[in-house]
Amino acid sequence: MTTQTAQGRTAQVVTVGVGPLSPADVVAVARYRAPVRIDDQALEEIAKSRAAIEALAHADTPHYGVSTGFGALATRHIAPELRAQLQRSLIRSHAAGSGPEVETEVIRALALLRLSTLATGRTGVKVETAQAYAGLLNAQLTPVVHEYGSLGCSGDLAPLSHVALAVMGEGKVRDADGNLRDTAEAMAEHGLKPVVLAEKEGLALINGTDGMLGMLVLALADLDRLLKTADIAAAMSVEGQLATDRVFAADLQALRPHPGQADSAANLRAVLNDSGIVASHRGPDCNRVQDAYSLRCSPQVHGAARATATHAASVAGYELSAAIDNPVVLPDGRVESNGNFHGAPVGYVLDFLAIAVADVASISERRTDRFLDVARNHGLNAFLADDPGVDSGHMIAQYTQAAIVSELKRLAVPASVDSIPSSAMQEDHVSMGWSAARKLRKSIDGLQRVLAVEILTAARAIDMRAPLEPSPATGAVRSKLRELVEGPGTDRHLAPEIEHSVQLVADGTYLSAVEAVTGPLS
């Protein structure tokens, strides 16, 4: 079954079952608004675990989250007639976020991943509660979630509570057109009914790492594109600065057999293939074997970033396979408390990725800067200006890069080492994984902008090397840019030109243009 998304894409329905979702499933639902369905096996497992919870609810012995309070209040036994109120109170009190609204794609990822955990049958919710999550996603009703409120333990409590609040028919949502709506009213328009939560359900809806995991999965999808784009940008800088491609040879790279490095170097070779500019100074008399590190070591840096992303993807894979709740309903019917909601594994790799992103941006900015200095740009005008002194060329574009790179270095400071105690010292060590994820999203946006400026500048330099011709691949990038941005000339308003280049990085136009020539990059 297929459906048309809000972006005009045709999307397959994503099936949520007992097993894990794939990263592609998460991106499809979160970013491209693919619809979801819960499979029959998952519905059976949900019903089984609910039966186990209902048996405990009628037992004389208190059970955490079923017939007791929560967190530091877990010692109080709750009478049966107060348990529905207990669940409502839990969600309402925990929906305590503040600050700017979180992006729709993040909230959809968070809701989908919570649904995936519910579908494992390890949480004890009612079938209709799980179906309510699918209903919100398919109606494209996005609960309002705020920037601040999660400490990443017990999971992303506040963000998940805002989603659960919407399942109860309370709070605010954004509809498919982005309009802010009363939740109950918007649900009624789509034939959706609010859920009355029963024993244990409140905990099941908010104990998870779904927000930070969703942002990790989305970040990895972005980095797959951006690290290939970084190789394209580096290749254009190699051309524009009359650097050598000899250092990217496969046998040289094999002496240090990191897979990511090999992939990056292979991309550089493919993108630079048949470059007239590179060929113009290749030969026995070429002395360009000691280019600056920012050019020569591009595969080493970009490759290390790829290795970091590979490690982060392995962590995401484990997390996608997880059933995170507290307590959980085990296959034999036992209901046990645990600490699986702690976000440390995800928080660490989110921080690690922010370091790699900052360094890839840093080397990009250094390559760009070399274009602007007559002592290092091998015959180009100062700042690539049309009439240096009268014109400033790309002088301040590099300032913009430098400002972003400086910010990325600040964002690379880890959040996951900054635990702060809460809940009357019951939750005395937390992951801060949500905070790590939020800053990584800012870092990725910054990397896109830095690479966009490098490509904009490199394209200008390549034009200034005429009549020498770039490679077919880099020429394709330049052609896409020139559809929106004029070539070298007197100074123009530069900010719109930067933004055009940013968009071409962000939507994958540059990458697609290259891969149409080279085939898929690694």
Q: How far apart are the first and last CA of the chain?
A: 31
Say how far apart CA 85 and CA 69 lie, in whole Å.
11
Three-state DSSP state, 14:
strand
* Residue 142 · residue 173 · CB < 8 Å: yes
Q: Which residue has the tokens 């005008």?
A: 381
Catalytic residue ranges: 64
How many CA atoms lie less than 13 Å away from 221 in the CB half-sphere?
Answer: 21
Residue with tokens 């909230």, as numbered in its chain: 107
Cβ distance 233 to 153 under 8 Å? no
Beta bridge mates, 15: 37
Rounded Cα distance between 323 and 320, Å, is 8
Residue type, 239: E
The DSSP output letter for 300 is H
DSSP-assigned beta bridge partners for residue 336: 328
Contact 367, 454 (CB under 8 A): yes
Three-state DSSP at 393 gives coil
What φ, ψ does residue 253 adopt, rounded to 5°? -65, -30
Dihedrals phi, psi of 120, to nearest 5 degrees: -70, -15
Tell me the Ramachandran region of residue 171: left when phi exceeds 0, alpha when psi lies from -120 to 50, beta otherwise: left
With tokens 């939020």, the residue in question is 438
Cis peptide before 154 (omega within 30 of 0): yes
| Selection from 275, 102, 87, 281 nearest residue 195 by Cα | 87
Could you tell me the two tokens for 110?
């968070």
